[in-house]
């Protein structure tokens, strides 16, 4: 039995209260669903700036189906939603009351967004992060797990990316994520507050929004191909990324929250597959799966354009630290993740479930 399987058995028998910030977002709603399936109580905090109510509704419905229980009963007994903002200290304090574990996902993502409006990104990602740290510390939560970012590696040229070797930030977004790690480290040393940062690489999966200017590449391409729109690739397509399926990300959040080894806390970990895929190869993988699922779709070459400011050419994570200290064992390679995610993307996009 893997460490993650043991942890899941433990959670089914022991109920805790979890705070998931950004619960209406892509990662947050997937965490919500999986926590409910494991018999946990969840408080969700979101201001719905980038998240959606339908993500929460779908998470509750999926959890209900897996548990074979009444949806309203599940909502009343196990989930409480707070419509609040991490930039407001009082909202954070309210959300942290009686909480055992915090999974802090709320942030303004996107390198381009941060370049266009660095002040807005700073307020959410630094001011909001500090509000959450203070509130969680004062509420004496057992563990504060937060979404860090692979953008922290900045201009460091080395591959694979190892947690203790970073370069200079390449965007305002990257700056905010570096500051998050610095604050977490200071809170550990100053207050003895236990935190773990998870440096997400390119996470993908169901409920990832394909619309808008800052959509992630996989859902955006799926939407464009289904709607017979042009697909754009920045650069020559040989840029590579370490794409990580959402189930691997969920595993890392739970392992980080409940790890018992003190040496594993107050650390940052890469959350990735430990493999990289070029954008050209990714496009072929996405296109092939859509052609298999949708009648009438034909192959169409992508359009190449200038490389985007603030991006890096290649990204690949070393995940040995997570394996050693947390017992992380990725369950989905990119091909397996795409197989699962594609069914959801096709069903959602063809039924117009996702809104911009």
Helix or strand holding residue 68 (H, E): none
Greatest pairwise CA separation for the chain in angstroms: 61
In the chain (356 residues long), the average pLDDT of successive 10-residue segments reads: 96 97 97 97 97 95 86 76 98 98 95 93 98 98 97 93 95 96 98 97 91 77 91 91 97 98 97 96 96 89 84 89 98 96 87 44
pTM of the model: 0.94
Q: Quick one: pLDDT at residue 110?
A: 85
Is residue 153 among the annotated active site residues? no
Q: Quick one: pLDDT at residue 355?
A: 38
CA distances 37 to 65, 213, 246, Å, are 9, 33, 16
Q: Which residues, including other chains, have CB under 8 Å from residue 292's CB and lie 6 or more apart? A: none
CATH number for 3-203+246-274+317-331: choose from 3.90.550.10, 3.40.50.720, 3.40.50.2000, 3.40.50.1980: 3.40.50.720
Q: Quick one: pLDDT at residue 212?
A: 64
Q: Quick one: pLDDT at residue 214?
A: 58
Give residue limits of the domains in the chain: 3-203+246-274+317-331
Separation of alpha carbons 1 and 4, rounded Å: 8
Catalytic site residue from 153, 173, 283, 345:
173
């Amino acid at each position: 039995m893997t460490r993650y399987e043991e942890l899941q058995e433990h959670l089914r028998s022991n109920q805790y209260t979890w705070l998931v910030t950004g619960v209406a977002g892509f990662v947050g709603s997937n965490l919500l669903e999986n926590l409910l399936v494991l018999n946990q109580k969840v408080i969700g905090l979101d201001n719905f700036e980038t998240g959606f109510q339908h993500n929460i509704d779908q998470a509750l419905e999926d959890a209900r189906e897996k548990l074979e229980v009444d949806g309203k009963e599940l909502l009343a007994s196990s989930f409480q939603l707070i419509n609040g903002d991490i930039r407001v200290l009082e909202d954070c304090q309210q959300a942290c009351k009686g909480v055992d574990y915090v999974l802090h996902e709320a942030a303004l993502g996107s390198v381009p967004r941060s370049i266009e409006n660095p002040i807005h990104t700073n307020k959410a990602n630094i001011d909001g992060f500090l509000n959450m740290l203070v509130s969680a510390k004062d509420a004496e939560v057992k563990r504060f797990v937060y979404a860090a970012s692979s953008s922290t590696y900045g201009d460091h040229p080395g591959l694979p990316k190892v947690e203790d070797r970073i370069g200079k930030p390449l965007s305002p977004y990257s700056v905010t994520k570096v500051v998050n790690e610095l604050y977490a480290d200071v809170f550990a040393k100053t207050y003895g507050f236990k935190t773990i940062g998870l440096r997400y690489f390119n996470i993908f999966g169901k409920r990832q929004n394909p619309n808008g200017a800052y959509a992630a590449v996989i859902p955006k391409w799926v939407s464009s191909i289904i709607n017979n729109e042009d697909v754009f690739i920045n650069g020559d397509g040989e840029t590579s990324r370490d794409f990580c399926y959402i189930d691997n990300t969920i595993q890392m959040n739970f392992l980080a929250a409940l790890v018992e080894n003190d040496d594993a806390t107050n650390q940052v970990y890469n959350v990735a597959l430990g493999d990289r895929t070029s954008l050209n190869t990714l496009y072929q993988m996405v296109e092939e799966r859509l052609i298999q699922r949708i009648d009438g779709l034909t192959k169409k070459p992508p359009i190449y354009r200038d490389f985007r400011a603030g991006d890096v050419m290649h990204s690949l994570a070393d995940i040995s630290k997570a394996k050693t200290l947390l017992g992380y064992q990725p369950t989905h390679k990119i091909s397996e993740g795409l197989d699962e995610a594609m069914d959801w993307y096709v069903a959602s996009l063809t039924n117009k479930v996702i809104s911009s």
